[in-house]
Structure 1
Amino acid sequence: MNKRLSRKALAATAASTLALTLAACGDSGGGDSGSGGEGESKGTIKLGFIPSWTDGLSTAYLLEDQLTKAGYEVEMQTLTEAGPLYTALAKGDVDMYPSAWPEVTHAAYMEEYGEDIEDVGAYYDNAKLTLAVPKYSKMQSIADLPKHAKELDGKIIGIEPGAGLTKATKESVIPEYGLGQDFELVTSSTTGMLAELKKATDAKEEIVVTLWRPFWANSAFPVRDLKDPKGALGESEALHFLGTKGFSDEYSEAADLIEGIKLDDEEYGSLEDMVVNEYGEGKEAEAIDAWIEENPEAFETELTEKQ
């Protein structure tokens, strides 16, 4: 019997398996057999994500909640750079990257590792890389930056060195707009970039930072995107759930569940805001429960109900 997956429906289908999963929490082996017999774990799924990239943080905890309720054990593996995460995914050291940008931003990683990676599905289809300035800035376009190099101290404030956004800024934006002589891309971390953004906007000073959409900082800070008339940052792309090769064969029911998660702008925005801002670190499980309660129709997954 098939059914639409929602919080209440999932609880109904997973009620019997959840107790068994908790009882068998020490078992780390094997994929699912499609039914998960009595006393058996459906297997352990390792989610690899970068905590400072809050799209992956939010969806990692969403998957942890849903997969646990469906009878799986979930291990959370945090990394600091995209390169090591793609390497781990390709080698099978992690089973899933829960919020990847493989179409544009991470295309180079997919070229290198794609043969050993499986696309389990896209959950959001309007992601975009940007350069952003404060709303009070006179700058309207990336092409305006050279005229304001002195005010900006010749710096574009970036995020992690291994980020796809960093690569796109270095290899596309800077040469396309002729910024190489006047500007340096300063990389550190997402947290470091946000700290510089807060400092500048609090003081009403000029700053240009690398940002992206969707990201909670776009509404938390008084910023706007610079126009990109040369298209140096690429087109909008989808955010995907990527699995290690063979994931859907080994964890077929989990793959069906994951493939059915589809979020629009409002649903994604509220998920990230609840996990990152409203509840915060250490209360991610509570945030997910609250979000699912408010968004029961965010899933289109068809699962086989256990009898």
Structure 2
Amino acid sequence: MCHPSLKRLIVLFAAISLSLSGTALAAEQIRFANVSWTGVTVKTELGKLVLKSLGYKVKSSNLSVPIAYQAMDSGDADIFLGNWMPSMETIANKFFKRGTVEQLVANMQGAKYTLAVPSYVAAGGLKDFADIAKFTDKLDHKIYGIEPGNDGNQIIQHMIDEDMFGLGDFKVVATSEPIMLTEVQNFVREGKWIVFLGWSPHYMNQLIDMTYLTGSTADTFGKNNGTATVYTNVRKGFAEDHPNVTRFLKNFVFPIDMMNEISQLLHDDHGFNHASAGLAWIKQHPDVYRGWLQGVTTSDGRPGLPALEKYLQEH
């Protein structure tokens, strides 16, 4: 018969073992911070899919851009695939300088993020940031943005607050990606004038005959008229905690054509969601996912590529 003191020690040891085991399991969970933009959501869903096939526990949380950085800063999120630069400098740079968030790799080059107009508006004379204020009445003193807290909205608000380009009496209309695009399409149908946030890659570039404005500056959307590079960010210490996942993330890059094609799939076929559209695309482009898995293993150390290919065959 077990002595009571020994029994208590056994129970205590079991409780400690369970606690340590739970901590280890929690530490193995990979946490993505996501924002509700088409491209970043596709990337996030593909990242989750690949890591699940490798045996990792993953989750994602939909957050605004500022909250995504606060989550990485506090250690409550691990990865963010949507660091658009230079437009996010005012939000992200303080975390980079503090060292709590690290810029791991450029996952997409040659992107674009700036103000745009329907092409008939550009033909009517609104081609540059400096032209916007000339057409105040046609624009009803409004520039259309996306979700509150977004870096693009913040840049527009900064332009208004500083009366840059004579925009002091304008206001930002904060909406969301789908609401803004619906508004733009409504304006286009009626031949009305509108200035809005535009970016590429995105199906809006095929859906709308649109023109990106020139005249962006270093303290707005960048000197190169909104040309952007998108980076993968991770929380401090993530690379040391998860070297195998970090190796995957460094390989996890996206050609512009890939993102445009997936975005178009989402628009054309309402049966697709972000995950299934991304999955359908990579099944047709094995060279891309094979590059992602170079040098990458499963969570228990086996070759990663066969595990992903088995997953793709089953889904």
TM-score, length basis structure 2: 0.77
Deviation at 1:49, TM superposition (A): 0.5
Equivalent pairs counted in the alignment come to 267
Deviation at 1:280, TM superposition (A): 5.0
**From 153, 160, 164, the counterpart of 1:176:** 164
Give the 5 Å matches for 1:201-280: 201-228=188-215, 230=217, 232-234=220-222, 235=224, 236-274=227-265, 276-280=266-270
Give the 5 Å matches for 1:14-93: 29-30=23-24, 43-51=28-36, 53-79=37-63, 81-93=64-76
Segments of 5+ residues of structure 2 without an aligned counterpart are: 1-20, 304-315
Deviation at 1:119, TM superposition (A): 2.3
**What secondary structure does 1:72 align onto?**
coil
Partner of 1:200: 187
Deviation at 1:75, TM superposition (A): 0.8
Change (3 A) 1:285 1:160: closer
Q: Which amino acid aligns with 2:144?
A: I
Which range moves more in the overlay, 114-123 or 297-306?
297-306
Q: Distance in 1 between matches of 2:22 and 2:90?
A: 33
Please say if residues 176 and 230 of structure 1, whose CA atoms lie closer than 8 Å, have aligned partners that are also in contact.
no
Please say if residues 143 and 177 of structure 1, whose CA atoms lie closer than 8 Å, have aligned partners that are also in contact.
yes
Q: Distance in 1 between matches of 2:288 and 2:22?
A: 30
Higher helix share: 2
Q: Which amino acid aligns with 2:24?
A: G
**From 71, 75, 93, the counterpart of 1:111:** 93
Partner of 2:5: none
Change (3 A) 1:280 1:249: farther
Q: Which amino acid aligns with 1:238?
A: T
Deviation at 1:266, TM superposition (A): 0.9
Q: Distance in 1 between matches of 2:27 and 2:67?
A: 27
Identity of aligned residues (%): 23
Query: What's the RMSD between the two structures over aligned residues?
Result: 2.5
Q: Distance in 2 between matches of 1:106 and 1:89?
A: 15
Change (3 A) 1:204 1:167: same
Matched, 1:95 2:88: no
Q: Which has the larger radius of gyration?
A: 2
Please say if residues 46 and 76 of structure 1, whose CA atoms lie closer than 8 Å, have aligned partners that are also in contact.
yes
